[in-house]
Amino acid sequence: MTEGPITKKIIAFAIPLFLGQLLQQLYNVVDSVVVGNVLGKEALASVSTTGSLIFLMVGFINGLFMGSGVIIGKRYGARDLEGVSVAVHTGITFAAIMGIVLTVWGFFFTPVLLTWMGTPADVMPNSVLYFKIYFLGGLGNVMYSACCGVFQAMGDSKRPLHYLFISTVINTVLDILFVRFLGFGIGGAAAATIIAQFVSAILAFVKLTKVQGPHRLYLSKLRIDGETLKKELKIGFPTGIQNSVIAIGNVVVQSNINAFGSVAMAGCGSYFKLEGFVFLPITCMSMALTTFVSQNLGAGEYDRVKKGSASGIAISVLCAELIGVIEFNFSPIFLRMFSSEADVIAVGVAQSRTESLFYCLLALNHCLAGILRGAGKTKIPMTVMLSSWCLLRITYITVIVHFIPVVNVIFWAYPLTWTVSAIAFVIYYFKADWIHNFAKENAL
């Protein structure tokens, strides 16, 4: 990533990420499609209500490993090969520990969390069952993300794609088998997911033990280096907090949606699955920019960082807005994948047409956050998103829904907070001398 045509390098790195994110989204959508069409809207609502809580817990832990990827990328850009090896082994060891913690915590605290969210009684039993089984695969989920993060930090976005493709096929086949033909119900959908997660994690882990390069994994070297972990957490902890505050805001949104009943839950849940496809070009470009910036700052290529950042932002914003226009016009067709019930589709369409034309702002936010993460400036995205995507979003919903108890007003929370955070990011990006302060503030 430190040599050659900038835009070509970023796009070449981003395309496998895009395909991987596409598979990941299909992987997530399969449960909803099968459950919604085979078991009905109550079961679909049960799957939908768990999404925010899953992101709350998984998002925090995955955010921690962003720090590992940034440190690996910087050291690789600076050609500190021994440092790369230490960072890899520290990150993977820490991932295993956190995966076990996530599994235990998610399994036992499920009923409490769903109760706090105000999950309706008719949805609660299936939600608890799905959540508990899902989090039995917490270790697989975290280990897959950590291993693929190593590949991506080294500039390899293709290998994670291969493993995810295999995992997606397994999840799809098992979903249909367990739910439709064997009658295992919503528990079968969750079981299919965790089996597929462990397969992808094992494949990625085994490959790391066989690659040639400084990121090769040796079982005998799996241990935590205190100084390296401290640096990884210094960068990763704010990103984990950022993911969590976004998730907390979404949990509040979901709690308010739950108050409108299972139709609103199913309709909004279907929209959120559809919206996940919008995140594909946004997320992959943000990840590509993080790797690009970290490697080039490590190599001292400051002008290259500026040019690559501008190119990545332009591509992501344009793609996101194009997708938004398409979704605005064809959302009724897309949402029929999840449910054939008119009232459910109507809620999903209303949310889609409220938010879709503002996707350009969502892309701008994620790209600028990705660039700053690559520079080790993770506290800035955390602060901006804590204040806008969590505090402002919660305040808006709490006040407005009290006076206007209509589900549609909840949908405007997203464009409003995207706008506020985009303004804050742009001001910091152009006013702060974050690139030239990198060398003295982020010593490896």
pLDDT for position 155? 78
Break the chain into its structural domains and give their ranges: 6-441
Contact 7, 311 (CB under 8 A): yes
pLDDT for position 203? 92
pLDDT for position 51? 61
Burial of residue 37 (CB within 10 Å: 0-12, 13-18, 19+) is: middle
Cα Rg, the chain, nearest whole Å: 21
Question: How far is it, in rounded angstroms, from Cα 358 to Cα 414?
Answer: 9
pLDDT for position 368? 92
Sign of CA dihedral 434, 358, 236, 390: positive
**Of 206, 314, 326, 220, whose CA–CA distance to 278 is shortest?**
326
pLDDT for position 425? 92
Positions of the chain with pLDDT under 70:
1, 21, 24-32, 41-58, 117, 247, 432-444
Q: Which phi and psi (to 5°) does residue 158 adopt?
A: -90, -40
pLDDT in tens, 41-62: 666 666 665 566 666 666 777 7
Per the listing, tokens 């464009």 go with 415
**Of 288, 443, 300, whose CA–CA distance to 376 is shortest?**
443
pLDDT for position 444? 44
**pTM above threshold 0.75:** no
pLDDT for position 157? 75
Question: How far is it, in rounded angstroms, from Cα 198 to Cα 361?
Answer: 35
* Amino acid at residue number 12: A
pLDDT for position 46? 62
**Of 157, 159, 158, whose CA–CA distance to 204 is shortest?**
159
Contact 87, 71 (CB under 8 A): yes
pLDDT for position 101? 87
